């Protein structure tokens, strides 16, 4: 699924002229334009589609970013922001007629305020580095994507990333206070504040998850939380995947909100155990990992309650981690699931739908049915507590037609998520991967509003064009939008 963007037809002379113009603004080590230098940037974590950009800029100062944006604005050049490149929806997929703006050199932690429980960081700071830096104050940063050792906080904001602890502590949007952003014409904006609230419209929430379509994030102030007195993890094994899904819903229904509640099915269990040796029961149809945290007495009581709930809801075995090392191993298996599955299949297609918890068993059964229909195996790994599914569809791109089949299979999963009251993404974003499914989830009127918001911040449409919000033309071709008398609604909106 390629982006809704028709590249400008640039001649070799025009390309060289644009590159020369950028080169006059930047030091030699900041601008890359030779083929061998561009190839490492031809895709993000979604590596199905590859394309080299016109140029890659790796600025080191805010003034350099401003200069790049102003030059691109004056010359009608698209700009795609890129963090660590760990995204899984093609959000940082480069454009052949545009500049890829890499923010990896903005990797400083600018300020830590342990009294206010905040940290101010640049967008290239790794997620895990924040918790490591504030550990001496007995604090941590809660959102923890599985890629937290590598992913950058700027990318986390752009995609509204979650992680295994988002059930209790929320997504990125719930854990940031302030952003500094550069608009396409180089204007610096501050949204939110370092206080717990700020007046006016909630632009902070609007920017979080905007996938680089509205502005370039240059600084983030995050909330920090005190480390809990005690953390305990239970591992429950089930002989039926749907039963495990029902157990998830019953834990929440009993008023218990774990710090994390994760689920893995047998293919992912076996792959992770072979890779990490976490001590998982490899014969189980599914396992649940349930982490409980808080005060010592509170956790002791919750462990007993959850153990009883798991056993009464069909668990054939329940273990409690006996040490911090065993707890770390349990989580290492879960957080290594994606690379572990990559060892057993030439390729896999990672989906990211979210559903109401009550529909978990139904959707898992439907994924199993679709797996048989498409003759493609699926490994399920997901944030079960908040209904965020990550089915990994295994395929081999060397076999003609298998990629297209995997994409169609994935699209059907997302459509089913919408049908049961869910959404097409929980934390990976839309990017280029889910453009067609946006046509399923949103009406023409709603898409019109999304285009209007984009236009208000970026009138020229140069920031990450063709991503996240599909054109009405695309939706009509996809067959998910009514076309009256052969004419599309809202003729003033872009078509391509």
- Report helix angle 360-374 to 402-419, nearest 10: 160
Q: Which CATH class is domain 230-339?
A: alpha beta
Alpha helices by DSSP H, 60-163: 62-74, 127-134, 153-159
What's the mean pLDDT in 113-120? 98
What's the mean pLDDT in 173-195? 96
**pTM attached to this predicted model:** 0.93
User: Can you say whether residue 163 is alpha, beta or left, with left for phi > 0 and alpha for psi between -120 and 50 degrees?
Assistant: left
* Segments making up each domain of the chain, as ranges: 12-102, 109-226, 230-339, 345-419
- Which tokens in the block code for residue 244? 């495990």
pLDDT per position as a tens digit, 279-337: 999 999 999 999 999 999 999 999 999 999 999 999 999 999 999 999 999 999 999 99
- Which tokens in the block code for residue 392? 């990994």
Establish how many alpha carbons lie within 13 A of residue 407's alpha carbon, considering only the half-sphere containing its beta carbon.
Answer: 17
What's the mean pLDDT in 154-159? 98
Q: What is the pLDDT of residue 48?
A: 82
| pLDDT interval class at 180 (50, 70, 90) | very high
| pLDDT interval class at 213 (50, 70, 90) | very high
- Report helix angle 296-312 to 241-253, nearest 10: 140
CATH for the 12-102 domain, from 3.30.43.10, 3.20.20.60, 3.40.190.10, 3.40.50.720: 3.30.43.10
What's the mean pLDDT when you consider all of the chain? 93
CA dist 225 → 114, 120, 160, 292, 449 (Å): 10, 14, 18, 16, 36
Q: How far apart are CA 375 and CA 326, in angstroms?
A: 37
| pLDDT interval class at 481 (50, 70, 90) | low
CATH for the 345-419 domain, from 1.10.3720.10, 3.30.70.2740, 3.30.43.10, 3.40.50.970: 3.30.70.2740
User: Based on C-alpha coordinates, what's the Rg of the chain?
Assistant: 23
CATH architecture for segment(s) 109-226: 2-Layer Sandwich (3.30)
CATH topology match: 230-339 vs 345-419: yes
Is 496's pLDDT higher than 50? Answer: no
Considering only 2-6, 28-32, 183-187, 270-274, which range has the smallest mean pLDDT?
Answer: 2-6
Q: What is the pLDDT of residue 413?
A: 97
Q: What is the pLDDT of residue 480?
A: 60
Q: How far apart are CA 148 and CA 132, in angstroms?
A: 12
How does DSSP assign 198-259, residue by residue? -SSS-HHHHHTT-TTSS-EEEEEEEE-EEPPSEEEEEEEEES-HHHHHHHHHHHHHTT---S
Is 26's pLDDT higher than 90? Answer: yes
To the nearest 10°, the Cα dihedral for 39, 41, 42, 45?
130
Residue holding tokens 């218990």? 256
pLDDT per position as a tens digit, 215-234: 999 999 999 999 999 999 99
DSSP 445: H
């Amino acid at each position: 699924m390629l982006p809704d963007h028709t590249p400008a037809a640039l001649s070799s002379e025009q390309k060289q002229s644009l590159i020369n113009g950028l080169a006059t603004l930047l030091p030699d080590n900041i601008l890359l334009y030779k083929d061998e230098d561009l190839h490492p940037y031809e895709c993000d974590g979604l590596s199905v589609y590859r394309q080299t950009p016109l140029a890659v800029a790796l600025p080191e100062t805010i003034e350099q970013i401003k200069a790049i944006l102003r030059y691109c604005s004056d010359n009608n050049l698209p700009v795609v922001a890129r963090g660590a490149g760990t995204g899984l929806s093609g959000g940082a997929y480069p454009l052949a007629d545009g500049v890829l703006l890499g923010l990896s050199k903005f990797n400083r932690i600018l300020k830590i305020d342990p009294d206010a429980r905040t940290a101010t960081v640049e967008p290239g700071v790794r997620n895990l580095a924040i918790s490591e830096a504030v550990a001496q104050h007995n604090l941590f940063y809660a959102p923890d994507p599985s890629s937290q050792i590598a992913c950058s906080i700027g990318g986390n904001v752009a995609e509204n990333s979650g992680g295994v602890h988002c059930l209790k502590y929320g997504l990125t949007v719930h854990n940031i206070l302030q952003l500094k952003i550069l608009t396409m014409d180089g204007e610096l904006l501050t949204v939110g504040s370092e206080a717990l609230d700020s007046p006016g419209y909630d632009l902070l929430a609007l920017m979080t998850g905007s996938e680089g379509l509205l502005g370039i994030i240059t600084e983030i102030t995050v909330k920090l939380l005190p480390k809990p007195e005690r953390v305990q993890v239970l591992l429950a094994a089930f002989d039926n995947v749907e039963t495990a899904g029902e157990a998830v819903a019953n834990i929440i229904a009993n008023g218990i909100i774990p710090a994390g509640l994760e689920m893995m099915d047998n293919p992912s269990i076996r792959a992770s155990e072979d890779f990490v040796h976490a001590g998982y029961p490899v014969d189980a149809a599914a396992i649940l990992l349930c982490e409980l945290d808080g005060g010592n007495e509170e956790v002791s009581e919750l462990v007993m309650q959850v153990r009883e709930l798991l056993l009464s809801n069909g668990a054939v075995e329940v273990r409690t981690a006996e040490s911090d090392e065993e707890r770390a191993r349990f989580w290492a298996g879960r957080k290594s699931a994606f690379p572990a599955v990559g060892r057993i299949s030439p390729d896999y297609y990672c989906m990211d739908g979210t559903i109401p918890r009550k529909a978990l068993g139904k959707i898992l059964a439907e994924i199993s049915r679709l797996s048989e229909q498409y003759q493609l195996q699926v490994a399920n790994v997901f944030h079960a507590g908040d209904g965020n599914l990550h089915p990994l569809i295994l395929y081999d791109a060397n076999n003609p037609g298998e990629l297209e089949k995997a994409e169609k299979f994935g699209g059907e999963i997302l459509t089913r998520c919408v049908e049961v009251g869910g959404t097409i993404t929980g934390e990976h974003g839309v990017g280029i991967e889910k453009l067609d499914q946006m046509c399923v989830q949103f009406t023409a009127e709603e898409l019109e509003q999304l285009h209007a918001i984009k236009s208000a911040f970026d009138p020229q449409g140069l920031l990450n064009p063709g991503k996240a919000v599909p054109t009405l033309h695309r939706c009509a071709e996809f067959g998910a939008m009514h076309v009256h008398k052969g004419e599309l609604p809202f003729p003033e909106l872009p078509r391509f």
